[in-house]
Amino acid sequence: MIRARCEVLSNRRTGRYHSLTLVAPEIAEDAKPGQFIEVGVPEGRDILLRRPFSIHQASRRGGWAGTLEIVFDALGPGTAWLAEARSHDVLDVVGPLGRPFNDPGDLSTCLLVGGGYGAAPLYFLAEELRAKDKAVHMIVGARTAERVFKPLEGKRLASSLVFTTDDGTMGELGRVTDALPSVIKRTGAQVVYACGPNPMLRAVGEYCRDLEIPCQVAVEELMACGLGICWTCVVPFIALDGRGWWNVRACVEGPVLNAARIWWDRWLGASADDQTPPEGFTAAPEPQLAKPWPR
C-alpha cells in the first residue's frame, strides 16, 4: 500500500454517477478487485477525513496502463468536491487498501450481484475471473434506470446478465434478491460475490447461507482512517468454529468478508442489545481475571 499524489486524467458522468480516472501506476499495479482507495480532501476545509472508494478498474496494460478508475455518487461535501475535480488536478490517494475478493479455486461458475455503484468493483472482478476461464453471470440492480451502472460493459463481461430496478424502468421490476433464486437455479452458480448497500448484502448472504453456497460480500461501514488504526469501521464477525464473535475492521480484515460469518442482526438490526445470536452460535466464555474482582 502506498500514498501517492495522483493526477486526474478524466472525470466524466456515467448515468447518475461520476467516473474518475487517475494516473496511479504503483497503486494500479497492486490493485485487486474488492480493494479500495482513500482519497484526501483538500486542506483548509472543515472536513478532514479521507473518503473511501472501491476500485472499479486498474489498468496495467495497453493505452490506459497505470490508471485507476473509481465511480461515485455525489451525496455529501466530500463527494461533491470530488465531482468538481478537473483533468490535471492532483489528488492525495492512499491504496490499494483492504482484502480483495478471494479466488474461487476449483469452483467454476460464479454469480456476481451488484447494487447501485456496488456494481463498479464487480466489473473489475468479472474481468479477472474471465481471465481465469470461469463462467461469469451477473445480476445488476438499482433504484432506477439511471443508477444501473454501465449496463453495456456488464453485457460485454458476463455470459448472462439480469438487470433489476425498483421502479421497473430497466430490466425486471424488483430487487436483485427477487431475481437471485431463479438465476442461481438457471446458472448453477457455485459461488456468489456481492457488493452494494448493506441490507442487500445481508439478503444475498442469508439466501446463499441457506443454500450452502459460498458467498463473499464487500461491506461498507464508516471509516475514519482506512488503515486499521482507529477501529471505527467494525463489523460483528462470528468465529470460524461458530463459538463467539469479534468486531473486525472492515478496512483491513474486510471490506470483503464471508457473508455467512457476519452477525447481520447485531450489525444492521435496530437495537443491538436484544438480539438473539444466530443458530448454532455459542458465545465464547468471557476470560476471567487472575483473581476475583474485589467488591
Q: According to the binding rule CB under 6 A, does residue 230 interact with ligand FES?
A: yes
Check whether the bond before 292 is cis (ω within 30° of 0).
no
Residue with cell 437495537: 271
Q: What is the pattern of x (binds other proteins, CB under 8 A) and - over residues 47-66?
A: xxxx----------------
Give how far the C-alpha of residue 221 lies from the chain's centroid of Cα atoms, to the nearest Å: 10
Among 31, 57, 78, 140, binds ligand FAD (CB under 6 A): 78
Under rule CB under 6 A, which residues in 104-123 are in contact with ligand FAD?
117, 120
Choose between 161 and 233: whose C-beta lies nearer to ligand FES: 233
71 binds ligand FAD (CB under 6 A): yes
What is 124-172 written as a DSSP string?
Answer: HHHHHHHHTT-EEEEEEEESSGGGS--HHHHHHH-SEEEEEETTSSSSE
C-alpha cell at 19: 467516473
Dist CA 224 CA 163 (whole Å): 34
Residue 65's binding partner among ligand FES, ligand FAD, other proteins, none (Cβ under 5 to 8 angstroms by kind) is none
**Residue with the three cell numbers 483491513:** 252
Q: Pick the stretch among 66-74, 108-116, 161-169, 221-229 that binds ligand FES (CB under 6 A).
A: 221-229
The window from 24-32, 68-76, 139-147, 203-211 that contacts ligand FAD (CB under 6 A) reads 68-76
Please choose which of ligand FAD, other proteins, ligand FES, none residue 3 contacts, taking the beta carbon within 5 to 8 angstroms, the exact cut-off set by kind: other proteins
Residue 40 binding: pick among other proteins, ligand FAD, ligand FES, none (C-beta 5-8 Å cut-off by kind): other proteins
Write 242-248 long-range contacts (CB < 8 A, 24+).
242/280, 242/281, 242/282, 243/281, 243/282, 243/283, 243/284, 244/282, 244/283, 244/284, 245/277, 245/281, 245/283
| Contact of 24 with 93, CB cutoff 8 Å | yes
Residue 73 near ligand FAD by CB under 6 A: yes
Residue 114 or 226: the one with the smaller Cβ distance to ligand FES is 226
Which of ligand FES, ligand FAD, other proteins, none is residue 117 near (CB under 5 to 8 Å by kind)?
A: ligand FAD
Taking CB under 6 A as the criterion, which residues in 231-290 touch ligand FES? 231-233, 249, 251
Which stretch in 26-34, 57-65, 81-89, 264-272 sits in contact with other proteins by CB under 8 A?
264-272
3-state secondary structure of 199: helix
Binding-site member from 49, 145, 224, 248 for ligand FES (CB under 6 A): 224
Q: Which stretch binds ligand FES (CB under 6 A): 101-109, 120-128, 167-175, 229-237?
A: 229-237
CA distances from 128 to 43, 133, 147, 183, 268 (A): 37, 9, 24, 21, 31
For ligand FES, the binding residues (CB under 6 A) are 223-226, 228-233, 249, 251
